[in-house]
Structure 1
């Protein structure tokens, strides 16, 4: 009579069975980009430590609030990552409608703070719908471009038409910084959707025309630059638009009109917005007023040197020379207390995050997922460039937060939703596929 098989031969070892049990639970997230998650978690931890240092001598607990919100944000990201992103295609108009309704609610029931009406109070918390509108715009544009590519003027017109309403509601708050983020997202997604580069330049040319004419340059140089720009746009339109001479004349007239319109729009800006735009060129003009933040921020970053003054030892940070440093100007605290090494680490993490998002966009299962990833890429990189630029005096103060580092519940949660959608694209992409060279 043959002997019965031994226990070791009938089933795998204990550690193998334990791993198999865990893998069944972990399987819904097995294809997400864990390197991307690691980089984001690293930025969140740096943000918590930096905000803790800012709160150190103030008796505040913003760092704990940031830490708890970060935990909720990570759970939200993982929850969205296991849900198929492509179901949003059938619901994108509902997403678009909800986005605009939330922005309308701000104008009707919003809470005013710091000279702007941008928040809605829900359950004792101030929620900023404009942050979540960024994600809504990304989903809407991705769905539109997935149905009709941007290699024709009608496809671009559909995208621009959908952008007008939310952007107008954002500007009415007023929130110029978020409106500029919308423009960056749109340009990035149109480029990825194979829109003609000349068409994209023509689309943003009226804004550039208004800015050039508004520059205060000697010897009427701004006027000559503006006229050269108008002529250049007319030539570009003649070359790349299918309308020939009609398109050239139309582009020239539009840029001519935009120059005068820029003066009208300038007068519609609030005083603090005008100060932010002009004082970054010469903050010493009003060192105790509009230029105060910029001057103190540059001092803080420069004082950090190579290795920084050390945690809780930055004079500008600990003595509170920079108001609301835990929000828009958190990079100055990192620069002062962690020095060039700390700021370089932050920049490397942002570079790595953008690199991983590009790789996810390249390997997405469809154009809709690829465009969602590129929309987040454009949103993140624009906010990083503008925020760090204003911290070191290279761009005006716009109120744009630094992703995952700046304190702000709405910003963290909006980034969590966007990251969750990108991770969903990664999670449901085909293995070993590279759709783009």
Structure 2
């Protein structure tokens, strides 16, 4: 028996995504002279494909199909991410010089969304085979043991952060990898050493990319007063920078959230979607939801997301197979970090990363990939011991 509460939670968010893709795309539809149902129809197709895939996967036998599916995702989309850099512009969509989407007929596929799921499988599969039986390791033995995984991750960093200019996806993958290291028994010394290296590399990726530096300065200009006021030292005040207008995206996002108040302006009645807040149905969908459905709507979305994450972690805690356990933990972490980064970005707490909200943001690739990940977790959930009423033991 699959975990029906998890399936129900995902269905709730997918349904809301469909509704909001119609409500929040009003200005974009008029501006580009699209039909009223342009985004609604496209999102419907993505959700139908994702939901169908999720149900099909949930019915498969994990002992037969889980590893095959996971390896196929990892190998195929790893190759595609490399190959797409050499494909002609007729097949690849480039934005700002970064090739992120492959055109397949009327569809565009972002390989990185599927690679994330494959990468989590690769880690779970390899960790379960090679590391779970190891006794306590010394620091240098840990370095030797984990270096191959770090090498694979660094290759992914070069492809995603350098060629695709998508640092947000790297942050989500890196955070997930480091937490999984802790789950398989790495020492705190190794963890903090690795964290220091990741932080240094993160700073380097920012300094060597002018668009990222501009984004960081723009964000710092909005939060410097509240942060520097805590440190009344003259030397610290030298970190203050001169800024012009507050970044319009963050400003309008915060205004949309404020405008929604407790109960919202009503579905379809949001004002900031009318040209003030671009991409409101994609990366800023939480701001759009809050303006139209209020704090109450945002709270229900957050609780539903937390419920989904809770069910995934509960399945992980009950399943016996270590590979299934680590994969489920990884999927839960991917969803958690993506939701946190997007939430913090639209509220100005951290710089905007361009991370989609799982199951909510408009976009076929991330919807389909998220449904594949949940489908594999549902496949795994059939291995969880249950009582006569179908509840987990």
Q: 2:8 aligns with which of 38, 47, 54?
A: 38
1:188 aligns with 2:179: yes
C-alpha distance 267-364 of structure 1, shift in aligned 2 (>3 A): same
For residues 318-376 of structure 1, what are the alpha-carbon distances to aligned partners after superposition, in whole Å with 9 as ceiling and x for unaligned? x2211111110111101111111011001101110111001000111300001110110
Contact 1:188 / 1:374 at 8 angstroms: preserved in 2?
no
1:151-162 mapped onto 2 (5 Å cutoff): 152=137, 153=142, 154-162=144-152
1:101 aligns with 2:83: no
User: C-alpha separation between the residues in 2 aligned to 1:44 and 1:183?
Assistant: 27
2:263 aligns with 307
Contact 2:73 / 2:115 at 8 angstroms: preserved in 1?
no
User: C-alpha separation between the residues in 2 aligned to 1:302 and 1:404?
Assistant: 24
SS of equivalent to 1:307 = coil
SS of equivalent to 1:402 = coil
Question: What is the CA distance between 1:293 and its match in structure 2?
Answer: 0.9
User: C-alpha separation between the residues in 1 aligned to 2:318 and 2:119?
Assistant: 22
User: C-alpha separation between the residues in 2 aligned to 1:39 and 1:358?
Assistant: 14
Contact 1:73 / 1:413 at 8 angstroms: preserved in 2?
yes
For residues 272-309 of structure 1, what are the alpha-carbon distances to aligned partners after superposition, in whole Å with 9 as ceiling and x for unaligned? 32222221222493537xx2111111110111101111
For residues 157-176 of structure 1, what are the alpha-carbon distances to aligned partners after superposition, in whole Å with 9 as ceiling and x for unaligned? 33223322223211221211
SS of equivalent to 1:121 = strand
SS of equivalent to 2:24 = helix
User: C-alpha separation between the residues in 2 aligned to 1:303 and 1:95?
Assistant: 42
1:206-217 mapped onto 2 (5 Å cutoff): 206-209=197-200
1:410 aligns with 365
Q: Structure 1: which 5+ residue stretches go unaligned?
A: 1-30, 212-261
1:143 aligns with 2:119: no
Q: 1:83 aligns with which of 39, 56, 60?
A: 60
For residues 237-295 of structure 1, what are the alpha-carbon distances to aligned partners after superposition, in whole Å with 9 as ceiling and x for unaligned? xxxxxxxxxxxxxxxxxxxxxxxxx45x44421x332222221222493537xx21111
1:165-204 mapped onto 2 (5 Å cutoff): 165-171=155-161, 172-204=163-195
User: C-alpha separation between the residues in 2 aligned to 1:111 and 1:209?
Assistant: 31
SS of equivalent to 1:316 = coil
User: C-alpha separation between the residues in 1 aligned to 2:353 and 2:39?
Assistant: 22
Q: 1:50 aligns with which of 20, 34, 40?
A: 20
Which protein, 1 or 2, shows the higher relative CO under an 8 Å CA cutoff with sep ≥ 6? 2
User: C-alpha separation between the residues in 1 aligned to 2:357 and 2:96?
Assistant: 19
1:356-395 mapped onto 2 (5 Å cutoff): 356-395=311-350
1:272 aligns with 2:184: no
Is 202-211 or 344-353 further displaced after alignment? 202-211
SS of equivalent to 1:108 = coil
Question: What is the CA distance between 1:147 and its match in structure 2?
Answer: 0.9
1:287 aligns with 245
**Taking structure 1 as the reference length, what is the TM-score of the superposition?**
0.75
Question: What is the CA distance between 1:209 and its match in structure 2?
Answer: 4.6
Question: What is the CA distance between 1:185 and its match in structure 2?
Answer: 1.9
**Taking structure 2 as the reference length, what is the TM-score of the superposition?**
0.83
Contact 2:93 / 2:99 at 8 angstroms: preserved in 1?
yes
RMSD value, Cα: 2.4
User: C-alpha separation between the residues in 1 aligned to 2:62 and 2:354?
Assistant: 30
Question: What is the CA distance between 1:210 and its match in structure 2?
Answer: 6.2
Contact 1:144 / 1:158 at 8 angstroms: preserved in 2?
no
Larger relative helix fraction: 1
SS of equivalent to 1:118 = strand
